[in-house]
Amino acid sequence: MSYFTDEPEHIALLRQTIKRFVDAEMPRELVRQWDREHRSPPELFRKLADLGVCGLTVDEEYGGQGRDLVAAVAVIEELARRGGAAVGPFIHCTFYGGINISENGSEEQKRELLPKLARGELLFAYGLTEPDVGGDLASVKTSCVRTDDGKKLIINGSKRWCTGAEFAHYIYCLVRTGPEEARYKNLSFVLIPKGTAGVSLHPIDHINIRYTLSSDVVFEDAEISSDMIVGGEAGWQTGWNMLAGEALDVEKLEITAYTLGVACAAVEDAWQYAQERVQFGKPISGHQAVRHELVEARTKLQACRHMLYHATWLANERRPCSVETSMAKLFVADTSVEIALICQRVMGAYGLCGEYDMERYVRDLLGMPIVGGSSNMQKNNIANRLGLRA
């Protein structure tokens, strides 16, 4: 079995719970307002966390529900159908935080942080890319050096597109901790606590995924404890192994689930609109051109769903899945753009109007082949993992 046709009962029930939450707490007009304001109300995530879903990426030993990536991905999909206001913080907690600390943290870090993450009390942000470093993360320039007594770390440099840095309790930051020429062997991850002196944020405006701002984060002699090395002393200079490990494969799943959820919403809205909009004496869903467009969108959506949940099942079973997660990220991101544009055409001018959600769906989906590892990077990953000769 590589993919389930009939969803397990606990996941079907979980979807119903999330749907009820969305209907009760995320009315469409409020979601549009939050999108315009680049914000997600903290109380919204608090109510979501109270449902217990933040423990889906944390083992029971550390206060979680037990690792269930399929369930966590289903939560993302359902939340994303109504925009990023709740799904964004959920990802920052369960994936940026829960997965990375579960996979890479020291035992002390796991016991300190994972129970809080499982309760939804902590949010993480990624500090990976830099002004001159995108996909080539081995070239990061942000430096981290130890003080003479080894108890403190001094960080200098900058990170770009650090989404959620303004609300995150920790920035999960990739830094260079060795000689510049020691490529792949000079990297570490550190946790930058909120409020650290010498850290400044510089927001960047952007058109999509607007549950929060992305920021340039500048470090000027920012000082943190050496206890903040992810993985403890064993994590020093092993950042590349963490990047190439399981956590990065799982990271591709959360953004793909987000993408699928938005694409689902676009199809559902266009499907309903086409049956309500009357032209030439009948609903436009009765015109063959529109019918074919909608069926094409639904067919593409079904393919996206299978790609995502097959890769998620492999990851949850801890089977090799680097190729499948990259394929899912590539296919769903690119195909969802096609789906969004089909649905926008069905709605015509109303698909461009701020009074409808379609224009937000299109904005969000246009960015998905770029964020979370671009489509071209996924193609490179797939070719390399499958041994295609260069």
pLDDT of residue 288: 97
Domain 9-122 has CATH 1.10.540.10: yes
The model's confidence at residue 247, banded by pLDDT at 50, 70 and 90, is confident
What would the pLDDT profile of 74-130 be if each residue is shown by its tens digit? 999 999 999 999 999 999 999 999 999 999 999 999 999 999 999 999 999 999 999
Token code pair at residue 334: 């690119």
H or E element in which residue 7 lies: none
Q: Distances from the Cα of 362 to the Cαs of 190, 214, 284, 368, in angstroms? A: 35, 19, 21, 10
Cβ(137)–Cβ(243) under 8 Å? Answer: yes
Q: Is residue 139's pLDDT more than 80?
A: yes
Q: Report yes or no: 213 and 166 within 8 Å, Cβ to Cβ.
A: yes
At 186 the pLDDT is 94
CA–CA separation, 91 and 75 (whole Å): 10
**pLDDT 10s digits, 168-207:** 999 999 999 999 888 899 999 999 999 999 999 999 999 9
Collapsing DSSP to helix, strand or coil, 8 comes out as: coil
Which amino acid is residue 337, in one-letter code?
V
Pick from 341, 329, 323: nearest CA to 370:
329
Q: What is the pLDDT of residues 196-212, one digit of tens each?
A: 999 999 999 999 999 99
* 307 CA to centre of own chain: 17
The letter for the amino acid at 277 is R
Q: How many residues can be counted in the chain?
A: 390
* pLDDT score at 111: 98
**What contacts 24+ positions apart, CB below 8 Å, involve 191-199?**
191/224, 191/228, 191/230, 192/127, 192/155, 192/219, 192/222, 192/224, 192/228, 193/169, 193/224, 193/228, 194/168, 194/169, 194/170, 196/222, 196/223, 196/224, 197/222, 197/223, 198/155, 198/222, 198/223
Q: Which of the listed CATH numbers 3.30.420.40, 1.20.1260.10, 2.40.110.10, 3.90.330.10 matches domain 126-238? A: 2.40.110.10
150 — pLDDT class (breaks 50, 70, 90)? confident
Select from 3.40.50.10320, 3.30.1360.230, 2.30.290.10, 1.20.140.10 the CATH code of 245-385.
1.20.140.10
Q: What predicted TM-score, i.e. pTM, was given to this entire model?
A: 0.95
280-321 residue pLDDT tens: 999 999 999 999 999 999 999 999 999 999 999 999 999 999
pLDDT digits (tens, 9 = 90+) for 30-53: 999 999 999 999 999 999 999 999
pLDDT over threshold 70, residue 19: yes
Q: What span, in angstroms and rounded, lies between the C-alpha atoms of 2 and 321?
A: 12
DSSP letter string, 277-291: -EETTEEGGGSHHHH
Task: Report the distance separating Cα 206 and Cα 192, nearest Å.
Answer: 24
Q: pLDDT grade, residue 4 (50/70/90)?
A: low
SS (H, E, C) 188-212: EEEEEECCCCCEEEEEECCCCCCCC
Listed by start position, the domains of the chain span: 9-122, 126-238, 245-385
Task: Output b/e per residue, 243-262; b: 16+ Cβ within 10 A.
Answer: beebbbbbbbbbbbbbbbbb
Determine phi and psi for 222, rounding to 5 degrees: -70, 130
Query: What is the chain's mean pLDDT, rounded?
Result: 95
